[in-house]
């Protein structure tokens, strides 16, 4: 494995989605910033975010209502301090985005808002109908490119964090173009690596969402929190032998209805808000109807809506579905839930600081407590924007207190390269087993027996050793992330938010709601909602 001379920068940002780029912009005035991204510059979950970004900016809305809606959706597990920061800072940062050239959709001169599930007001901003994330990333990247202190390195796959005396001082990465590994040292490192949907057989996430940030933090010894809470988006387009394409919740906000295979509308039987119920409830209802009717899918029905409006409002969804010979204005759309978003992740305080000195996290990879047990629709882009900026400010504030790394520091883990490479099909076979296990036993509806079986079988799986390559390291990260999710799910003996167990179908009301914490080589522990500054110091023993 060829290694180059180490590089030193002031700040290292791992990830190039909304949280990473917004953080880099905030860091730029304080020093040299290097952003590493494992794919192309625009390849992230942000790029694929359709629905929009929520903020209390309309005339009939209030920050307090957005706060309350988020707390209700989080099913008792939101950290109110974190939610307050989200809803109060969000409008300011969205106005800043607009100043930087972000073009949200408008009705005349006024911003256009739509409503999504569990929102009490129409507060979701969108761009180009259903390409909000793409437009936000365009505006942020344009701003970042204007700042000379920011450098971006694409095709840089982070292998592990570099730890020195219990403090994270950099990272080692593989340059996929040169096939060489490099070390980068920094005074502070930010994880902004996004999600983990590729842990599951069925997911709306792009192929880059392989839980890399969670896995490298885990190997370095950082605490993870609330890993059992994985949100399944209710309506992923179900077409055989094709990736699961997300059909935005905003479609239901515009009036689309859910029907089972017998064409019966069923959501009013499950929740008073029907199709606009919280996502966890809608996903479970769809799965239950699929089981009841012995079907592989249900339908999303938009045939009663104004066709011209739907085509204009959702141009990306409309054109993508046409590629599968489906017209969303005239055809019933086959759908089923798919893994979509991780509420848990690397445990942080309100400033993005993790349990390891020098390491910060923001966006989907982080567990700030802002989403609780179930994320409110369209709060994810807002979280990346707000907490990306917050983490960067904390990194700047602590810069003078962080010493420069020594060149003798080593990666948190070092996997030796074998002399012979396995056939790629061996790695893919192991991955298929992991993903199928997670989908079948750690999915929308769970049970103790299923979770116990998943934990045991995942522990027995090994990824065939391979010379340095992105497929090998991604497979390793997926397996380690899957183990953390399954272990945390087995330990939580209740149903709350996105975590539903048939053997414990009710919430545990014997005490205050508790967050799960787990670290490498330790058992899952639970800690009640506590001041955010204490979250990253919770031990999992």
Catalytic residues: 279
d(C-alpha 326, C-alpha 228), whole Å: 35
**Displacement of CA 398 from its chain's centroid (Å):** 27
- The DSSP letter of residue 508 is -
What does the H/E/C string look like for 403-449? CCCCCCCEECCCCCCCCCCCCHHHHHHHHHHHHHHHHHHCCCCECHH
C-alpha dihedral, 65 to 69 to 74 to 80, nearest 10°: 0
Rounded Cα gap, residues 363 and 86, in angstroms: 12
Q: 288-305: string of b/e by CB count within 10 Å (b at 16+)?
A: bbbeeeeeebbbbbbbeb
| Residue 418 near residue 462 (C-beta atoms within 8 A) | no
Is residue 300 within 8 A of residue 251, CB to CB? The reply is yes
Instruction: Report helix, strand and coil shares of the chain as percent, to nearest 5.
Output: 35, 20, 45
Kindly report the CA angle at 444 between 50 and 504, in degrees rounded to 5? 140
Size of the chain, expressed as the number of residues it contains: 541
User: What are residue 451's phi and psi, to 5 degrees?
Assistant: -65, -40
Rounded CA-CA distance 288/414 in Å is 45
Q: What angle do CA 402, 403, 406 make, to 5 degrees?
A: 140
d(CA 73, CA 70): 5
């Amino acid at each position: 494995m060829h290694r180059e001379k180490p590089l030193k920068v002031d700040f290292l940002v791992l990830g190039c989605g909304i949280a990473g780029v917004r953080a880099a912009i905030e860091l730029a005035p304080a020093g040299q910033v290097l952003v590493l991204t494992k794919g192309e510059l625009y390849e992230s979950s942000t790029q694929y975010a359709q629905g929009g970004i929520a903020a209390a900016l309309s005339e009939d809305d209030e920050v307090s209502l957005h706060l309350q809606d988020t707390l209700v959706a989080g099913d008792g597990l939101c950290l109110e301090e974190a939610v307050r920061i989200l809803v109060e800072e969000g409008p300011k940062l969205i106005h800043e985005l607009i100043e930087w050239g972000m073009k949200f959709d408008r009705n005349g001169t006024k911003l256009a808002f739509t409503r999504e599930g569990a929102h009490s007001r129409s507060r979701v901003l969108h761009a180009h109908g259903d390409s909000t994330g793409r437009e936000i990333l365009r505006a942020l990247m344009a701003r970042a490119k204007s700042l000379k202190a920011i450098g971006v390195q694409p095709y840089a796959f982070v292998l592990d964090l570099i730890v020195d005396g219990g403090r994270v001082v950099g990272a080692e990465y593989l340059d996929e173009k040169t096939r060489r590994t490099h070390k980068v040292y920094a005074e502070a490192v930010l994880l902004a690596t996004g999600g983990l949907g590729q842990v599951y057989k069925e997911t709306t996430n792009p192929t880059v969402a392989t839980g890399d940030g969670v896995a490298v933090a885990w190997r370095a010894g950082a605490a993870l929190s609330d890993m059992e809470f994985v949100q399944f988006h209710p309506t992923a387009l179900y077409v055989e032998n094709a990736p699961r394409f997300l059909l935005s919740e905003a479609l239901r906000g515009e009036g689309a209805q859910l029907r089972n295979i017998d064409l019966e509308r069923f959501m009013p039987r499950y929740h008073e808000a029907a199709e606009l119920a919280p996502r966890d409830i809608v996903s479970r209802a769809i799965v239950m109807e699929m089981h009841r009717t012995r079907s592989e899918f249900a339908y999303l029905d938009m045939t009663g809506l104004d066709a011209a409006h739907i085509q204009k409002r959702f141009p990306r969804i409309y054109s993508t579905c046409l590629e599968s010979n489906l017209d969303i204005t005239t055809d019933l759309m086959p759908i089923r839930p798919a893994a979509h978003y991780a509420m848990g992740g690397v445990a942080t305080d309100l400033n993005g600081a993790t349990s390891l000195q020098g390491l910060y996290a923001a966006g989907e990879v982080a567990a700030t407590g802002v989403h609780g047990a179930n994320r409110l629709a369209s709060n994810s882009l807002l979280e990346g924007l707000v907490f990306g900026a917050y983490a960067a400010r904390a990194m700047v504030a602590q810069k003078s207190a962080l010493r420069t790394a020594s060149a003798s520091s080593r990666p948190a883990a070092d996997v030796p390269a074998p002399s012979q490479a396995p056939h790629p099909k061996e790695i893919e076979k192991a991955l298929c087993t992991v993903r199928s296990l997670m989908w079948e036993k750690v999915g929308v509806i769970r049970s103790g027996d299923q979770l116990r079986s998943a934990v045991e079988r995942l522990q027995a799986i090994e990824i065939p050793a391979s010379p340095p390559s992105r497929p090998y390291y991604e497979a390793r990260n997926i397996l380690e992330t899957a183990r953390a999710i399954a272990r945390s799910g087995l330990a939580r003996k209740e149903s709350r938010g996105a975590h539903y167990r048939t053997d414990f179908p009710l919430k545990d009301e014997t005490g205050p709601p508790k967050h799960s914490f787990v670290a490498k080589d330790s058992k899952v522990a639970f800690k009640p909602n506590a001041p955010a500054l204490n979250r990253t110091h919770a031990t999992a023993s």
